[in-house]
């Protein structure tokens, strides 16, 4: 993969405040453990708004969430991801004149993200008010080799003068989170979550340790500045802040470089986070920065090889897809203590909470490309299983586990339960991810160790949440994926996902028994043979709503009784609807925020006939606003299955460019990680028709009209497979591993070397 295909660069960027905040997100650095927004090192002028943040995956404090009425079981506190420190600030002075793109004149200016090297940067040629000209090149990296490490390499070249340079680098522990009381997608108010505990200087390194106000956690950040040439350096502590001042003399044509090392450490993962930060700084300083760059590139070479995907025929769209894939590896937690937040580690949207987005939109990408990461994500859900059991009890269930709608450490963070806690389908989503991981890897040991317990406890929950009525198993008072329709009976998506969960609970029980791996799970759960029979009976008799007149699956029992929302005549400025209409008004109409039944027909396509799937797609397409970033990618996949190729491509394009073009107008709060995973699925599951089923691997590729071809690689069981689609031909190649039986356009083939078929 060539360099140009992995570099996103923008020249002559706007200095408008809104554009600056979006670019803080687009050019952020993250590695799954830490995330740092791409703020200007020198800061912005007074009056500008910024989200100047650095985050640790899974690190949080607890804050009150007051309920208007104190009813039993309603969530009254939540976790929120914290901005842990500001280690970005570096101010530059040329003979006393401060470098700022808002003063003097930028003769050229650009920003870039290099997805091959794993760095972001800013480049500027700047003339001060007195006429001094410098070239400034700033490179940033969140290391994949050493997850605690973030670096800034700040290089200044004098163009037309000889003089003094002064760098003032600060390390600040007293920081706050961003808030916006008018937007329900971010925190409504800012608080001082961190309490300064210790500030020390050791061997030129500043270490700032803070404790959270309520969660009992600690965080330590260490900063070391290195000047590349002779000069003076002085660091002093000013409260919970370290200020390092560096002076040097530079002649025209010469370059001075400041390298700023930051390490992060937290008490979730380390018993003594300060001692660990010291060790991590020693580790960071033991290698030259060039070696870290080399290892960063090597890590990403492995990543791009694993998730190889090429599009021939649309370079701009191809770059957008790669940008989305790159954000996934930046966002995903690399241990069981973290997951993937709705905004990754790029911003504070949704307060860093983990949703069902991970399982349904991001797991498929990692299952096919890096299954060990998918396994780690499931391990996180296993780690919080006891909280899910506790949550089930709070909501009145005697048995089973109910995963929280939104969380960080395992407890429910949803204050508005109709569109939060009532979304029981999250249990089905998590169960689905475990099942698909098994189907792709055949890792039964993991099912015995962790996955099976998740499957059995979520299945138990359905038995208590639902009941038999006139011979059918029904699930009442839940909310499906569509957040514009809440608290309904028999949401189709929820019921069909529960059916899938229950059926696989029975299958896993029998598989584990046959392989003599059941005993450990039984010891943990006390699961009985009688319960397995009940699971089987409920799955067999699950009620799935169907309308004989329209020949569709209604979204729920009452959905078709409601008035249809007039989307065409709704003013454009009134979208997204959730910001302009009362929830009850939305709930009384047939209007969908996102794919719901259409999503079910993609995920659980074998539950209905193709005719029903087609009729449902055409019905729901007319009443879906796509106000959710989770929507267009799913409509693209469904349109591909149904042969609506132009529609599929249109929905795909909307999904691919969502963040780069800020189409949902909230990229400033962070990237949309689920959409990025969905965008990958729109190619592999949509255009290529890939499905992983119990019988094997299924493919039904076609070539979108604007493209000349596309190709990708996947892992399936113990094998590596390449799929290539060009104008008239599809080639499936076994790159490594054992031969496989695969289904191509419904016909079974034996893949030993390669299979070539006409499209």
Q: Specify whether the CB–CB gap between 8 and 112 falls below 8 A.
A: yes
pLDDT at 472: 98
With cut-offs at 50, 70 and 90, classify the pLDDT of residue 749.
very high
pLDDT band at 652 (very low <50, low <70, confident <90, very high): very high
403-414 pLDDT per residue, tens: 999 999 999 999
What is the tens place of the pLDDT at every residue in 31-73? 999 999 999 999 999 999 999 999 999 999 999 998 988 899 9
All structural domains of the chain with their residue ranges: 29-47+55-303, 370-563
Residue 456 has pLDDT above 70, yes or no: yes
Structure tokens at 277: 């930060």
User: Per-residue confidence at 759, pLDDT binned at 50, 70, 90?
Assistant: confident
Q: Is the pLDDT of residue 150 over 70?
A: yes
> What pLDDT was estimated at residue 184?
67
Query: Each residue of 666-715: pLDDT tens digit?
Result: 999 999 999 999 999 999 999 999 999 999 999 999 999 999 999 999 99
pLDDT at 58: 98
User: Superfamily for 29-47+55-303?
Assistant: Glycoside hydrolase, family 65, N-terminal domain (2.70.98.40)
User: What does the mean pLDDT of the chain come to?
Assistant: 96
Do residues 527 and 456 make contact, with C-beta atoms less than 8 angstroms apart?
yes
Compute the distance between CA of residue 148 and CA of residue 34 in angstroms, rounded to an integer.
7
Q: What is the DSSP code string of 576-621?
A: SGGGTS-HHHHHTEE-BSS-SHHHHHHHTGGGS-HHHHHHHHHHHH
Residue 68's pLDDT is: 86
Find the mean pLDDT for residues 15-27.
96
At residue 2, the pLDDT reads 41
b/e for 703-736, b at 16 or more Cβ within 10 A?
A: bbeebeebbbbbbbbebbbebbbeeeebebbbee
Which pLDDT tens digit goes with each residue over 463-475? Answer: 999 999 999 999 9
Q: State the pLDDT at residue 188.
A: 62
pLDDT of residue 4: 64
| Distant-in-sequence, close-in-space partners of 573: CB < 8 Å, separation ≥ 6 | none
Give the pLDDT of residue 268.
98
Question: Which 8-state DSSP code applies to residue 450?
Answer: I
pLDDT at 1: 38
Contacts of 630 (CB under 8 A, 6+ apart): 357, 361, 481, 594, 595, 674, 675, 678
Q: In this predicted model, which residue has the larger pLDDT, 728 or 117?
A: 117
* Rounded Cα–Cα distance for residues 180 and 40 (Å): 21
> Is 197 annotated in the active site?
no
Highest mean pLDDT among 172-181, 483-492, 660-669: 483-492
* Cα–Cα distance, 677 to 655 (Å, whole number): 10
| Contact predicate 737/692, CB 8 Å | no
Are 759 and 728 spatial neighbours (Cβ–Cβ below 8 Å)? Answer: yes
Over range 601-611, report the average pLDDT: 98
Q: What percent of the chain has pLDDT over 70?
A: 98
Give the pLDDT band of residue 192 (cuts 50, 70, 90): confident
370-563 topology per CATH: Glycosyltransferase (1.50.10)
Residues sharing a CB contact under 8 Å with residue 655, sequence separation 6 or more, in sequence order: 632, 633, 636, 675, 678, 679, 682
Q: Is the dihedral of CA 334, 338, 340, 342 positive or negative?
A: negative
Q: Which residues contact 497 (CB under 8 A, 6 or more apart)?
A: 425, 427, 428, 429, 431, 432, 600, 603, 604
| pLDDT tens-place string over residues 206-246 | 999 999 999 999 999 999 999 999 999 999 999 999 999 99
Instruction: Assign 642 a pLDDT band (cuts: 50, 70, 90).
Output: very high
Q: What is the pLDDT of residues 259-283, one digit of tens each?
A: 999 999 999 999 999 999 999 999 9
Three-state secondary structure of 294-346: HHHHHHHHHHHHHCCEEEECCHHHHHHHHHHHHHHHHHCCCCCCCCCCCCCCC
Q: Say whether pLDDT at 3 is over 60.
A: no
532 DSSP 8-state letter: H
348, 351, 483, 724: the catalytic one is 483
Token pair listed for 283: 């580790």
pLDDT tens string 276-331 = 999 999 999 999 999 999 999 999 999 999 999 999 999 999 999 999 999 999 99
Q: What is the pLDDT of residue 191?
A: 74
């Amino acid at each position: 993969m060539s360099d140009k295909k992995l570099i996103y660069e923008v020249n002559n960027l706007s200095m408008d405040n809104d554009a600056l905040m979006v670019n803080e997100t687009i050019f952020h650095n993250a590695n799954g453990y830490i995330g740092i927004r791409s703020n200007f090192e020198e800061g912005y002028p007074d009056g500008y708004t910024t989200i100047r943040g650095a985050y640790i995956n899974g690190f949080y404090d607890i804050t009150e969430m007051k309920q208007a009425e104190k009813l039993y079981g309603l969530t009254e506190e939540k976790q929120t991801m914290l901005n842990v420190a500001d280690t970005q600030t570096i101010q530059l002075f040329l003979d006393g004149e401060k470098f700022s793109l808002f003063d003097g004149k930028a003769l050229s200016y650009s920003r870039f993200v290099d997805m091959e090297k794993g760095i972001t940067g800013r480049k500027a040629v700047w003339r001060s008010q007195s006429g001094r000209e410098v070239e400034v090149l700033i490179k940033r990296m969140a290391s994949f080799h050493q997850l605690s490490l973030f670096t800034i390499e700040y290089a200044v070249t004098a163009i037309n003068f000889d003089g003094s340079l002064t760098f003032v680098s600060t390390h600040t522990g007293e920081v706050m989170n961003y808030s916006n009381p008018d937007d329900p997608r971010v925190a409504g108010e800012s608080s001082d979550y961190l309490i300064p505990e210790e500030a020390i200087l050791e061997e030129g390194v500043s270490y700032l340790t803070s404790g959270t106000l309520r969660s009992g956690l600690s965080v330590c950040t260490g900063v070391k500045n290195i000047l590349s040439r002779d000069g003076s350096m002085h660091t002093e502590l000013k409260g919970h802040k370290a200020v390092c001042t560096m002076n040097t003399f530079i002649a025209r044509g010469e370059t001075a470089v400041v390298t700023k090392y930051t390490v992060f450490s937290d008490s979730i993962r380390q018993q003594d986070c300060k001692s660990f930060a010291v060790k991590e700084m020693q580790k960071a300083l033991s290698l030259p920065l060039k070696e870290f760059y080399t290892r960063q590139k090597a890590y990403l070479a492995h990543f791009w090889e694993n998730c190889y995907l090429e599009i021939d025929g649309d370079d701009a769209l191809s770059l957008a897809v790669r940008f989305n894939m790159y954000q996934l590896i930046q966002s995903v937690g690399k241990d069981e203590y973290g997951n993937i937040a709705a905004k990754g580690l790029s911003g504070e949207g949704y307060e860093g909470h983990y949703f069902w987005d991970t399982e349904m939109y991001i797991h498929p990408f990692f299952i096919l490309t890096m299954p060990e990461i998918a396994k780690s994500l499931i391990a996180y859900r296993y780690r919080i299983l006891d909280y899910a059991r506790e949550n089930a009890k709070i909501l009145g269930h005697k048995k089973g586990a109910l995963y929280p709608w939104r969380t960080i450490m395992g407890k429910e963070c949803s204050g508005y339960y109709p569109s939060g806690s009532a979304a029981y389908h999250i249990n089905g989503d998590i169960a689905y991810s475990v099942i698909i991981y098994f189907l792709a890897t055949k890792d039964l040991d993991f099912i015995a160790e962790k996955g099976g317990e998740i499957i059995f406890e979520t299945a138990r929950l359905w038995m208590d949440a639902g009941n038999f009525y006139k011979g059918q198993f029904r699930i009442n008072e839940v909310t499906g994926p569509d957040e514009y329709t809440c608290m309904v009976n028999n949401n189709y998506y929820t019921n069909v996902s529960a059916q899938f969960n229950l059926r696989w609970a029975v299958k896993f029980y029998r598989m584990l028994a046959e392989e003599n791996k059941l005993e450990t799970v039984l010891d943990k759960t006390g699961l009985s043979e009688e319960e397995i029979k009940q699971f089987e009976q409920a799955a067999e008799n699950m009620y799935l709503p169907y309308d004989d007149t329209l020949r569709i699956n209604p979204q729920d029992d009452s959905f078709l009784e409601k008035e249809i929302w007039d989307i065409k005549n709704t003013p454009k400025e009134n979208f997204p609807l959730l910001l302009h209409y009362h929830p009850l008004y939305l709930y009384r109409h047939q209007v969908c925020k996102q794919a719901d039944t259409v999503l079910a027909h993609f995920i659980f396509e074998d539950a209905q006939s193709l005719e029903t799937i087609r009729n449902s797609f055409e019905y729901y397409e007319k009443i879906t606003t796509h106000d959710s970033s989770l929507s267009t990618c799913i409509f693209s996949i469904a349109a591909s299955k149904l042969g609506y190729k132009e529609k599929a491509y249109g929905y795909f394009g909307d999904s691919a460019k969502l963040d780069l073009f800020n189409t949902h107008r909230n990229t400033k709060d962070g990237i949309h990680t689920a959409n990025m995973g969905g965008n990958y699925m729109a190619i592999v599951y949509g255009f290529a028709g890939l499905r992983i089923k119990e019988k094997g691997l299924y493919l039904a590729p076609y070539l979108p009209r604007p493209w000349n071809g596309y190709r990708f690689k996947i892992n399936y069981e113990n094998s590596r497979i390449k799929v290539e689609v060009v104008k008239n031909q599809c080639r499936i190649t076994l790159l490594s591993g054992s031969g496989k039986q695969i289904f191509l356009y419904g016909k079974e083939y034996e893949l030993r070397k390669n299979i070539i078929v006409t499209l």
